[in-house]
Amino acid sequence: MESKDLYQALLGMQEPWTVKEVSLDMAKQQVDVFVEHPSGSRFKCPECAAECPVYDHLGERTWRHLDSCQFLTYLHAKPPRIKCPDHGVKQARLPWAEEGSRFTQLFEVLAIDMLRATTVKQAAQILRITWDQAWHLMERAVFRGRAAKGVGLPTHLGVDEKAIAKGHSYMTLTCDLDASTVEYIGEGRTEESLSTYFAAFTAQQLAGIEAISLDMWPAYIKACKMLVPQAESKMVFDRFHIMQHVGNGVDRVRKDEHKALLKQGDTTLTSSKYLWLYNAQTMPAAARERFEQIKRENLKTARAWALKESLRELWSYHSVGWARRFWQRWYFWATHSRLPPMIDKAKLIARHLPNILTYFKHRITNAVAEGLNSKIATVQKRACGFRNRDNFKIAVYFHCGGLDLYPTSATHRKV
């Protein structure tokens, strides 16, 4: 088989395109493949798909292709322009590459797989391209995927914040709880951060939202009430954040008590901070022995921890009536505990109780959003952080957006 026939098959080149020449440069470890089409060939208009004659050709362009025998492989061609009677002069679509790309579609498929599996820097090294080229391929994949996905509004939304850098720099994440995907990333964690997302939809579309899981952040609550019809009955204050608030109360009790004990020379609570953050089921065996010992000391912190653990039972009920009865008993216990931080947390929860109990109508939590947060943290760690907010968004959409990232007409699509 001649080299032209070989590369005709390797490239999957179809009529009217044929391989004209194959050039091998041993010094550069590079193969250059030149393709052309016969005179009189007709190409489809990219607007209406009508078969049209060639008007002229652009100058020769080059696309990086998959390596062949470990040699860098480049495809060369002069893209034709056609003249459509309805749409005028247009560049014909090329079967091996998307418009504006300097890589073949098959190379982009490989690059996307690499970028999914490792960092941009490592992918660039493996593919033998620059960091900027690798990042551009990721960016193109995201833009392509988001365009193909279109504009849609999930029926079950999760709203959460994500710190992207030190110094209280936050972004707002809106997630599809059913698909476990990030749908939108807003700047900051203000009312505008979330309302900008809702403003992209019609009132009818917004009415299709069945439930929204979020924390008790006032800015998010206000954005939902302002733009989502019947938001009061759709908002569910997430139990993870409720327990986080109560856990902070326990830690405040521990700090105050530890300070008082140290004045008496008692180091019982020294290095015990993380013991009180565990729940009874997830506590490691290595920590359990010391924890049980501290609990027997009749400490205020132990009583605060017992309050925290008891509150978990609230979400185990099957009806809102029984859950409300449990809450009333727990609230009485907490407000009579003589532990000011726990009393404050109990009153905070009481003020937001109606939208905590909406859980029993919708049965959703932000567990999906928290899982995505964890995945995003891994992406941040691999990239050693993101100084550029736009780059952060691209990376999140790439890894967590649930997008079809691959070129639409690539020969070997990934499922």
Instruction: Give mean pLDDT, residues 37-54.
Output: 93
Of 55, 74, 96, which closes a domain? 96
Number of domains in the chain: 3
- Do 218 and 254 reside in the same domain of the chain? no
Q: According to the model, what pLDDT value does residue 384 have?
A: 60
Contacts 24+ apart (CB under 8 A), 51-56: 52/82, 52/83, 52/84, 52/85, 53/82, 53/83, 54/80, 54/81, 54/82, 54/92, 55/80, 55/81, 55/82, 55/83, 55/89, 56/80, 56/81
Residue spans of beta strands (DSSP E) within 78-165 = 80-84, 88-91, 156-165
Joined tokens for residue 407: 């070129």
- Do 340 and 272 reside in the same domain of the chain? yes
- pLDDT surpasses 80 at 335: yes
- pLDDT surpasses 80 at 14: yes
Q: According to the model, what pLDDT value does residue 413 have?
A: 44
Joined tokens for residue 147: 């365009």
Instruction: Give mean pLDDT, residues 48-59.
Output: 94
Distant-in-sequence, close-in-space partners of 312: CB < 8 Å, separation ≥ 6: 243, 279
- Do 273 and 358 reside in the same domain of the chain? yes
Residue 409 maps to a domain = no
* CA distance linking residue 187 with residue 234, whole number of Å: 24
Residue 412 maps to a domain = no
Residue 116 maps to a domain = no
- Do 78 and 217 reside in the same domain of the chain? no
Tokens 């016969």 -> residue:
38
196-217 pLDDT, tens per residue? 999 999 999 999 999 999 999 9
- Do 343 and 268 reside in the same domain of the chain? yes
- Do 342 and 273 reside in the same domain of the chain? yes
Contact between 135 and 111 under an 8 Å Cβ cutoff? The reply is no
**In which element (H, E) is residue 350 found?**
helix 340-351
**What count of other Cβ atoms lies within 10 Å of the Cβ of residue 51?**
10
Tokens 């005709």 -> residue:
8
- pLDDT surpasses 80 at 133: yes
Residue 196 maps to a domain = yes
141-197 pLDDT, tens per residue? 999 999 998 888 999 999 998 887 665 678 899 999 999 999 999 999 999 999 999
288-320 pLDDT, tens per residue? 888 888 888 889 999 999 999 999 999 999 999
- pLDDT surpasses 50 at 74: yes
> What's the CATH code of the domain at 219?
3.30.420.10
- Do 234 and 293 reside in the same domain of the chain? no
DSSP per position, 148-188: HH-S---SEEEEEEEEEETTTEEEEEEEETTTTEEEEEEET
DSSP per position, 279-330: -TTT--HHHHHHHHHHHTT--HHHHHHHHHHHHGGGGG-SSHHHHHHHHHHH
Angle at 286 between CA 282 and CA 289, to 5 degrees: 95
Average pLDDT, the chain: 91
Of 83-87, 295-299, 395-399, the poorest mean pLDDT is in: 295-299
Of 45, 64, 96, which closes a domain? 96
- Do 266 and 247 reside in the same domain of the chain? yes
Please give the residue range of the domain that contains residue 272: 239-362
CA distances from 303 to 124, 134, 242, 249, 295 (A): 55, 55, 18, 12, 9
Of 77, 96, 115, which closes a domain? 96
- Do 227 and 376 reside in the same domain of the chain? yes
Residue 102 maps to a domain = no
Contacts 24+ apart (CB under 8 A), 122-127: none
Angle at 40 between CA 36 and CA 43, to 5 degrees: 75
- Do 260 and 350 reside in the same domain of the chain? yes
User: What count of Cα atoms within 13 Å lies in the side-chain half-sphere of residue 91?
Assistant: 12
249-295 pLDDT, tens per residue? 999 999 999 999 999 999 999 989 888 888 877 888 878 888 888 88
Residue 108 maps to a domain = no
205-261 pLDDT, tens per residue? 999 999 999 999 999 999 999 999 999 999 999 999 999 999 999 999 999 999 999
Contact between 401 and 145 under an 8 Å Cβ cutoff? The reply is yes
Residue 247 maps to a domain = yes
Residue 405 maps to a domain = no
Q: According to the model, what pLDDT value does residue 415 have?
A: 36
- Do 24 and 82 reside in the same domain of the chain? yes
Rg (CA), the chain: 30
Helix axes 340-351, 300-311, angle to 10 degrees: 20
Q: According to the model, what pLDDT value does residue 385 have?
A: 57
Contact between 254 and 374 under an 8 Å Cβ cutoff? The reply is no
Of 286-290, 322-326, 353-357, the poorest mean pLDDT is in: 286-290
Q: According to the model, what pLDDT value does residue 410 have?
A: 56
- Do 302 and 346 reside in the same domain of the chain? yes
pTM given for the model: 0.86
